């Protein structure tokens, strides 16, 4: 029986990510750790490009947005106020027989009765709420007073600093506060590679506004975010917008869109855009006793702003970029035989390496010197990879697999051995079409910068 092609595709992506240094298991040499992942040399650059572009688009290029960076560990009172301490939980049962613990809604059933997937016993406790926040203690004593949580979301840091940011940034409604940072959830079943992990990174905006603008701005942010995904290479057609019906939304939300991507393992959430009304700020006003209201200088009114929250996952988006980019095609190799070419068709602005630079031969000093000179000249402006090892076709293929959009080859024409006409020109090879063109070295930087902007 042959495997599901989507599962096969996912297996190939996972294998490529390991082989080329995008993603490794955390602590792999010690058997790993379930739900934790490391990013290798290519993975870290992919994530950097994604986060930098998000920041540029949402913070730097907007005059109605400022950034912040809150601590992962906050005062426990934050999570009491937000409701996480009481309600951020999954239902769990314990097996009295083997002492293992499982999610109540995922227990196997036989003859109409649930049983322990570990030992088969039916002697299970009633479901109890298991809080998904990682606990720790700050300070020298493990007391209730010193109990802290690792934040399960970055959003609350924005709400509790709303007043400080408002007062120091001189913004007026509507305006947003943006943050990128790690969050932790003690998932019972981490799964789907990096999609559902216990440690992950979020890119969140809290966009504060007047109550009457909330619904309109939720739709505005939906469009903005879809445009963002298009601009990083995920077409609108691959994103399913799920307008969450009234009875499935959180009680305080008047509108919520889930943006879902067609991953090989199924259509799954990339981002949520939630109109959260004034719920969060009101909770913190109530619990802290501090005035977090907004004062409108024109109308002289004081009120609690409403908020629209576009909240995206860095790791999920990076995984979507990998899944979207992954391609295999049959091409005719240098030996005339057909072969499979693996290529990551990243948008040039997301590609970890922008340009491979190759001297045609490694034992010809003039070629090597010129290629190194070009690499050095480009490096202040973009990530480049210099490679002199192996046949040129193999070097191209290696960069195809890394998703490098451009290849520059320094050959005998470059150094003037075939006459002065083509001196100081190089071969510029395009990853997707594999087409090659002759470009003068003087034009190279400009051409590349334009493509990756």
Tell me which residues in 115-134 interact with a copy of itself (CB under 8 A).
130, 134
Q: Are 100 and 119 in contact (CB under 8 A)?
A: yes
Task: Work out the number of other CB atoms within 10 angstroms of the CB of residue 299.
Answer: 8
Residues in the chain: 453
Does the protein bind a copy of itself through residue 391 (CB under 8 A)?
no
Q: Is 172 in the site for a copy of itself (CB under 8 A)?
A: no
Which residues are CB-neighbours of 9 under 8 A, at least 6 positions away?
264, 326
Question: Is residue 319 helix, strand or coil?
Answer: helix
| Near a copy of itself by CB under 8 A: residue from 104, 188, 368, 439 | 188
Query: Residue count at the site for a copy of itself (CB under 8 A)?
Result: 89
- Which CB atom, from 182 or from 364, has the smaller least distance to a copy of itself? 182
Under the criterion CB under 8 A, does residue 53 sit at the interface with a copy of itself? no
Regarding 386 and contact with a copy of itself (CB under 8 A), the answer is yes
Site string for a copy of itself, 393-432 (x = CB under 8 A): ----------------------------------------
Residue 14 or 72: the one with the smaller Cβ distance to a copy of itself is 72
Site for a copy of itself in 61-80 (CB under 8 A): 61, 63, 66-75, 77-78
Task: Tell the smallest beta-carbon distance from residue 26 to a copy of itself (Å).
Answer: 4
The nearer residue to a copy of itself, 295 or 417, going by C-beta atoms, is 295
Q: Is 193 in the site for a copy of itself (CB under 8 A)?
A: no
C-alpha to C-alpha distance for 343 and 232, rounded to whole angstroms: 17
Stretch 361-380 residues interacting with a copy of itself (CB under 8 A): 375, 379-380
296 binds a copy of itself (CB under 8 A): no
Q: Which of 165, 361, 377, 451 is the binder for a copy of itself (CB under 8 A)?
A: 165
For residue 424, how many other CB atoms are within 10 A of its CB?
13
User: Which 309-328 positions form the footprint of a copy of itself (CB under 8 A)?
Assistant: none
Tell which one of 13, 116, 124, 150 touches a copy of itself (CB under 8 A). Answer: 150
Q: How far is the CB of 340 from a copy of itself (least distance, A)?
A: 20
d(CA 41, CA 24) in angstroms, rounded, equals 10
Does residue 335 bind a copy of itself (CB under 8 A)?
Answer: no
Report how far residue 151's alpha carbon sits from residue 76's, in angstroms, rounded to the nearest whole number.
Answer: 10
Is position 303 an interface residue for a copy of itself (rule: CB under 8 A)? Answer: no
Q: How many CA atoms lie within 13 A of 114 on its CB side?
A: 16
329: its two tokens: 């095609």
Comparing C-alpha atoms, which of 311, 247, 321 is closest to residue 280? 311
Closer to a copy of itself by CB, 181 or 214: give it.
181
Task: Label the pairing between strands 384-386 and 406-410.
Answer: unpaired
Dist CA 388 CA 369 (whole Å): 11
> Judged by CB under 8 A, does residue 208 bind a copy of itself?
no
> From the list 186, 268, 282, 342, which residue makes contact with a copy of itself (rule: CB under 8 A)?
186
- Minimum gap (Å) between residue 198 Cβ and a copy of itself: 6
Strands 239-243, 255-263: pairing is antiparallel
What is the DSSP track for 289-307?
-----EE-TTT--EEPPEE
Answer for which of 147, 196, 199, 412 binds a copy of itself (CB under 8 A) is 199
The structure tokens 């290849």 sit at 407
CB of 77 to a copy of itself, least distance (A): 4
Which residues 250-289 are close enough to bind a copy of itself by CB under 8 A? 284, 287-288
Taking the C-alpha atoms of residue 278 and residue 173, their distance in angstroms, rounded to an integer, is: 14
Which of the residues 75 through 104 are near a copy of itself (CB under 8 A)? Answer: 75, 77-78, 81, 92, 101-102
What is the per-residue burial (b if ≥16 Cβ within 10 Å, else e) of 115-129? bbeeeeeeebeebee
Q: State the DSSP string of 173-187.
A: SSEEEEEEEEEE---
Q: Please report, for residues 120, 213, 241, 349, the alpha-carbon distance to residue 452 in angstroms, rounded to integers and kept in the order given.
A: 56, 36, 28, 4
Binding region for a copy of itself (CB under 8 A) out of 118-126, 168-176, 337-345, 415-423: 168-176
Nearer to a copy of itself, 59 or 239 (CB): 59
Task: Between 383 and 404, name the residue whose CB sits nearer to a copy of itself.
Answer: 383
**Per-residue x/- mask for a copy of itself, residues 1 to 40, rule CB under 8 A?**
-----------------xxxx--x-xxxxxxxxxxxxxxx
Beta-sheet strands, E only, within 82-224: 89-94, 101-103, 109-110, 113-114, 128-131, 135-137, 147-150, 175-184, 199-209
Q: Which is nearer to a copy of itself, 148 or 323 (CB)?
A: 148
């Amino acid at each position: 029986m042959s495997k599901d092609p989507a599962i096969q595709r996912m297996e190939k992506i996972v294998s490529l990510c390991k082989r080329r240094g995008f993603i490794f298991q955390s602590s792999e040499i010690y058997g790993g750790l379930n739900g934790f992942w490391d990013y290798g040399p290519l993975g870290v650059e992919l994530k950097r490009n994604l986060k930098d572009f998000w920041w540029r688009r949402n913070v730097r290029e907007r005059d109605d947005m400022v950034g912040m960076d809150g601590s992962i560990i906050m005062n426990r009172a934050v999570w009491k106020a937000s409701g996480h301490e009481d309600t951020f939980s999954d239902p769990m049962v314990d097996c009295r027989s083997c002492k293992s613990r499982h999610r109540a809604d995922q227990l196997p059933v036989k003859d109409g009765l649930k049983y322990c997937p570990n030992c088969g016993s039916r002697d299970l406790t009633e479901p109890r709420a298991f809080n998904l926040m990682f606990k720790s203690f700050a300070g020298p004593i493990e007391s209730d007073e010193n109990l802290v949580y690792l934040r399960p979301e970055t959003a609350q840091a924005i709400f509790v600093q709303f007043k400080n940011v408002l007062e120091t940034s001189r913004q007026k409604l509507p305006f947003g506060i943006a943050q990128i940072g790690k969050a932790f959830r003690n998932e019972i079943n981490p799964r789907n590679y990096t999609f559902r992990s216990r440690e992950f990174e979020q890119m969140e905006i809290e966009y504060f506004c007047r109550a009457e603008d909330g619904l309109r701005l939720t739709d505005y942010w939906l469009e903005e975010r879809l445009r963002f995904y298009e601009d990083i290479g995920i077409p609108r057609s691959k994103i399913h917008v799920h307008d969450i019906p009234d009875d499935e939304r959180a009680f305080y939300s008047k509108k919520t869109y889930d943006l879902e991507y067609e991953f090989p393992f199924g259509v799954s959430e990339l981002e949520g855009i939630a109109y959260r009304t004034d719920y969060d700020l009101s909770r913190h006003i109530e619990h802290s006793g501090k005035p977090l209201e907004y004062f409108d200088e024109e109308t002289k009114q004081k009120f609690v702003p409403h908020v629209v929250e576009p909240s995206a996952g860095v790791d999920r988006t990076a995984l979507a970029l990998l899944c979207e980019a992954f391609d295999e095609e049959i091409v005719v190799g240098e030996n005339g035989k057909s072969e499979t070419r693996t290529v990551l068709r990243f948008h040039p602005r997301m590609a970890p390496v922008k340009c491979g630079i190759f001297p045609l031969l490694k034992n010809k000093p003039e070629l090597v010197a010129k290629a190194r000179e070009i690499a050095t000249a480009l490096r202040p402006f973009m990530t480049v990879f210099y490679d002199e090892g192996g046949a040129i076709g193999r070097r191209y293929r290696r960069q195809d697999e890394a998703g490098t959009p451009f290849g520059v080859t320094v050959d005998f024409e470059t150094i003037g051995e075939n006459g002065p006409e083509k001196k100081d020109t190089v071969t510029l090879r395009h990853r997707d079409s594999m087409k090659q063109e002759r470009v003068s070295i003087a034009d190279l930087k400009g051409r590349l910068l334009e493509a990756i902007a």
